Structure 1
C-alpha cells in the first residue's frame, strides 16, 4: 500500500541568491547561527536549501567565526566556558 502525501514539500531556495544584499561574513554571527545546530554542527545544504556556491562560502565563514570565538565549536565547549566564567 502506497501512502499519499498530504502536503507537497515547500520548494527550498537559497537565501543568499534571493537577496543579493545579504552578505555572508564571519562578523555576522546572527546570520551564521541560522545554519548551525545547537550542538555546533553545520547544517547540510539539502536541509537549509542553500546553493552549492553559497554553502561553500557559508562553511568557510562559519569556520572563521569559530576561530575568532564568535561561534561555538561544540555544545560541550560552550558549557565549559560557562562553568569557567562562573568560577
Structure 2
C-alpha cells in the first residue's frame, strides 16, 4: 500500500524543450505572463515544470520585461 501523503502524478515537462518555436524573449510578455503568479511573482520550476536552463532564461527575460515596463513588478490587491 502506498504512503498516504505521497502524491504520484505525471511528471511535468519543460514547455520550451517540447516546443522550441515558443518564444522566450522579453518582447513577448504574453508568454512570460504565464509564468507569473497572481501577485506577479516568478513561479518556481518545481511548479512550472521548466528545466533549470530554461528557468534561468525565463527569469532573466521576465526581469528585462519588468525593467522596460512590459510586465509589472507587483500586482495591487
Q: TM over 0.5, yes or no?
A: yes
Which contiguous aligned blocks of 4+ residues in structure 1 show a shift greater than 3 angstroms?
A: none
> Which of the pair is proportionally richer in helix?
1
**Unmatched tracts of structure 2, length 5 or more:** none
Query: Based on CA coordinates, which of the two structures has the bigger radius of gyration?
Result: 1
Bigger relative contact order, structure 1 or 2, given CA contacts below 8 A and separation 6+? Answer: 2
Give TM-score scaled by structure 1 length.
0.78
* Pairs aligned (count): 75
Work out the CA distance in 2 between the residues paired with 1:4 and 1:63. Answer: 36
Match of 1:63 in 2: 63
Give TM-score scaled by structure 2 length.
0.87
Match of 1:21 in 2: 21
Cα RMSD for the two superposed structures: 1.7
Aligned-partner SS, 2:21: coil
Work out the CA distance in 2 between the residues paired with 1:4 and 1:68. Answer: 44
**Unmatched tracts of structure 1, length 5 or more:** 80-87
